Structure 1
Amino acid sequence: MKKENGYTFHTLTMKPDDEGEVVATLIEKKAANHSKKALLYIHGFNDYFFQDHFAEWANQQGFNFYALELRKYGRSILPHQKPNDFKDYHEYFEDIDAAVTFIREKEKNEKLVLVGHSTGGLIAALYAHEHRNDNKVDALILNSPFFEFNVPAFLKKTFIPLMVSLAGSFPKLPSPVGLDKGYGYSLHKSHNGEWDYDLDLKPDAGFKIHASWIKGIYTAQKTLQKGLDIACPVLVMYSAKSVKPGNYRPDMQHADAVLNVKDIEHYADVIGKNVEKASFEGGVHDLLLSQKQVRDKVFQKMEEFLKNNL
């Protein structure tokens, strides 16, 4: 455990996997006044927690704030690991279980809001579904969840199924397709954005993608697309518009340049019976990194949702 800049960092030791030692990192910032409400944030792919303004907002709303950096992401990356890689989305449930146990049992929080962005949103939705009967999650907020690959139809029908089939025998097979730099260039202050974060932990073009990762995401998405039964209230948020990924263009600072928001809107309808959808003009993929006038509306919407559902 270490403390820095008002945060406490907890290292959670997981069971070893085929690469060896595994850890997750739980980052804590408690509200100024004693609270028994907690918000747990799970980042997206090629990501980690650096959104201080989100933690400050949560504290102002009376929530103890926690961010979970999953295994092989951010501060949890160990030297022997392939960053961001995984094989099965259930691997992450061990990390989330450890964080929830800490928050509820050790810290005695009685209410828990789970917030997931992009890949974290996909994983959080599946987690809330599988734990719908044990009251671990009281409300769920999804920020541009990764419900479907945003690639041309012919790649969905050919390339992705091919990589999925190869992953069984060749999990370390590198994908010839990866992230484009444009979104990263729209965010980081060294390029065209306003945000400062560690480019070693969140590189503009991401880390190398392997067949095992594609299979893990594909399996998770297909599970969700068949329909979930999340019991708690859910807020699904996304930009009002998508733009084509690729090299940086100015329109990437006012739209989702990673996912197709129509996929998010469509699949939000199959994840539970108490789901509210909200779109935001000018929002980027991580809505909380949108320009201030947009993210203020995002915070306002989350505040309203939480007041109505907790």
Structure 2
Amino acid sequence: MIDWRPDVLGDGFEQLTFELGIDDDPGLVDSTRDTQQGPLNAHQLVATLVRSLPEPLSWWNRLTGRQRGLEDVDVLYVHGWSDYFFQADLARFWTLRGARFFALDLRRYGRSLRPGQTAGYIADLGDYDAEIDFALAEMRASAPRSQEARKLVLLGHSTGGLVLSLWASRHPGIADALVLNSPWLELQLSARGRQMIAPIVNLGAKYSPLEGIPQLDYGFYARAVRTVGPASDVERINTEWKPEQSHPVHAGWLRAILAGHDSVYRGLNIEAPVCVLLSRRSALPTRWSEELTRADSVLDVDDISRAALRLGPSVTVERIDGALHDVFVSGDVPRADAYARLGRFAQGWRCALD
């Protein structure tokens, strides 16, 4: 029996844990950390699926035959690096339109992170196929039997956008649309910079995959989110799962990311229509300023917009003035703009299928 349990987001949200097996690489477990759940717990790989279902149609709508525009749509969300799913308002956007909303906390992230594990580590982005396949299987199994085949929207933020783009390209014909929220499709150093450092990273990852990679994160992006983001979402952030300064970066993980960027650079073949939501501009987070509350301080949005055109034959790029890296936790005006653009894409896409 499927064991859906109440989720940390409260009413309207449930979670389901998938067991992915035992991680037998001792280098990925910090044995010096004390855990209350036993020494083997850190070796257990799990992923967590969160769901939020739409309210049943009112008796009047059922009587008159009126339906919400996305009644036959399922959405699967995947978070970014050093992140997890907490955006209840984003789920509500979809469920108010009749869609079923699901979100994955990938292995070693958020709800799926176990004490002693190396947060966020992955050696091959293709390994995430396991939890994506589990999630899609559960979504299909739990679909209302009275309906025909449901439409699938993949929704990815930052690194999650890269993961889902690669997955959709490798699995044609499954997703009906792809929505990317500031997807990490290219390294901040641009393609040329990535190609220059890749041999060094690959060599280091071959011999010392857990070697630390220097990074500059002063916590300014987290501060920007706290300053202008929606209070209902910001107040529920678990800083152990989404720390103000990101998780440590390791050579093996970076090698996997660079391989994904290289695949995008060479061109993917996503047949479904793609909508890419981005801030209009980037800002360097070298010191705190109010500018960081109105720009993407994580990625170079111009590089990302160019890389997005390599995803497939049908790509819409939406540049949102004043948006943060996660456009859906931006200030009030850009956040409303982001939702309006998402709504326009979703409505147009769904109508085009009829």
**TM-score of the superposition, structure 2-length normalised?**
0.82
8 A Cα contact 1:178 1:205, kept in partner? no
Identity of aligned residues (%): 31
Deviations 1:25-49 (A, max 9, x none): 1000100136432111111101111
8 A Cα contact 1:256 1:283, kept in partner? yes
CA deviation after TM superposition for structure 1 residue 248, in Å: 2.7
8 A Cα contact 1:13 1:24, kept in partner? yes
CA deviation after TM superposition for structure 1 residue 224, in Å: 1.1
Deviations 1:244-297 (A, max 9, x none): 133432111100000000111101111101111110000110000111111111
SS in 1 for 2:308: helix
CA deviation after TM superposition for structure 1 residue 105, in Å: 2.8
CA deviation after TM superposition for structure 1 residue 151, in Å: 3.8
Q: Once structures 1 and 2 are overlaid, which stretch shifts more, 79-88 or 161-170? A: 161-170
- Cα distance in 2, alignment partners of residues 228 and 156 from structure 1: 18
1:7 to 2, 13, 17: 13
1:46 to 82, 92, 113: 82
- AA aligned opposite 1:186: A
- Cα distance in 2, alignment partners of residues 153 and 11 from structure 1: 37
Report the counterpart of residue 138 of structure 1 in structure 2. Answer: 176
8 A Cα contact 2:190 2:303, kept in partner? no
2:255 to 215, 218, 226: 215
CA pair 7-88 structure 1, distance change in 2 beyond 3 A: same
SS in 1 for 2:21: coil
Deviations 1:93-116 (A, max 9, x none): 111111111112333561111100
SS in 1 for 2:283: coil
What pairs up with 1:159-238 in 2 under 5 angstroms?
Answer: 159-188=197-226, 194=231, 195-196=234-235, 197-238=237-278
1:37 to 64, 73, 78: 73
8 A Cα contact 1:147 1:221, kept in partner? yes
- AA aligned opposite 2:48: T
- Cα distance in 1, alignment partners of residues 181 and 284 from structure 2: 19
- AA aligned opposite 2:91: A
CA pair 152-276 structure 1, distance change in 2 beyond 3 A: closer
What pairs up with 1:9-158 in 2 under 5 angstroms?
Answer: 9-17=15-23, 18=25, 19=28, 20-33=43-56, 35-108=71-144, 110-132=150-172, 135-151=173-189, 156=194
SS in 1 for 2:207: coil
8 A Cα contact 1:122 1:220, kept in partner? yes
CA deviation after TM superposition for structure 1 residue 153, in Å: 8.7
Report the counterpart of residue 266 of structure 1 in structure 2. Answer: 306
CA deviation after TM superposition for structure 1 residue 2, in Å: 1.2
SS in 2 for 1:14: strand
Q: Once structures 1 and 2 are overlaid, which stretch shifts more, 208-217 or 180-189? A: 180-189
CA pair 102-152 structure 1, distance change in 2 beyond 3 A: closer
**TM-score of the superposition, structure 1-length normalised?**
0.93
CA deviation after TM superposition for structure 1 residue 154, in Å: 9.0
- AA aligned opposite 2:334: V
Deviations 1:73-100 (A, max 9, x none): 1010012310011100011111111111
- Cα distance in 2, alignment partners of residues 156 and 179 from structure 1: 19
- Cα distance in 1, alignment partners of residues 50 and 226 from structure 2: 22
CA deviation after TM superposition for structure 1 residue 15, in Å: 3.1
8 A Cα contact 1:147 1:267, kept in partner? yes
SS in 2 for 1:188: helix
Moved over 3 A (4+): 151-161
Deviations 1:217-237 (A, max 9, x none): 001110111000101111011
CA pair 83-157 structure 1, distance change in 2 beyond 3 A: same
The count of corresponding residues between Structure 1 and Structure 2 is: 306
8 A Cα contact 2:269 2:313, kept in partner? yes
Give RMSD over aligned pairs.
Answer: 1.9
CA deviation after TM superposition for structure 1 residue 207, in Å: 1.2
Structure 2 residue runs of 5 or longer lacking an equivalent are 29-42, 58-70
8 A Cα contact 1:178 1:206, kept in partner? no
- AA aligned opposite 1:262: D
- Cα distance in 2, alignment partners of residues 46 and 269 from structure 1: 26
- Cα distance in 2, alignment partners of residues 220 and 15 from structure 1: 24
8 A Cα contact 2:55 2:95, kept in partner? yes
Q: Once structures 1 and 2 are overlaid, which stretch shifts more, 211-220 or 170-179? A: 170-179
- Specify the structure having the higher radius of gyration (Cα): 2
Deviations 1:102-155 (A, max 9, x none): 1123335611111000000011111111111xx321110001000112148996
